Amino acid sequence: MRLGRVVGSLWSSVKTEQLEGVRLLLIQPIDEAGANAGRTLIAADAIGAGAGDTIYWCRGKEASFAMLPAAVGADAAVVGIVDSITLASAG
């Protein structure tokens, strides 16, 4: 799983039947300090995240598991909303 921030949403009127009713979000990957860490991507929303939320997401085959029992062809999915991040101190 990876960290990200919801930066927008995507609307599509023409899509496969698998994606009917699935909310699509624009995700900015971030590092543990909250800095941008990669290119923005589109992810299926499995949990109801909203704009500005810090989330964790997964990519690949596992992303489709978040949408079960529906069979959704998703390459990325939002699977959790982050409440807080605690980093262990070095030393």
Question: Which residue segment(s) compose the domain that 12 sits in?
Answer: 2-81
- Structural domains of the chain, count: 1
Q: Residue 91 domain-assigned?
A: no
Mean pLDDT of 67-82: 84
Q: Residue 13 domain-assigned?
A: yes
Q: Quick one: how far is CA 41 from the chain centroid?
A: 9
Cβ distance 65 to 14 under 8 Å? no
Res. 15: pLDDT tops 90: no
Sign of CA dihedral 87, 60, 53, 39: positive
The CATH number of residue 26's host domain is 2.40.50.220
How high is the pLDDT of residue 17?
Answer: 83
How high is the pLDDT of residue 5?
Answer: 98
pTM of the complete model:
0.86
Q: Residue 40 domain-assigned?
A: yes
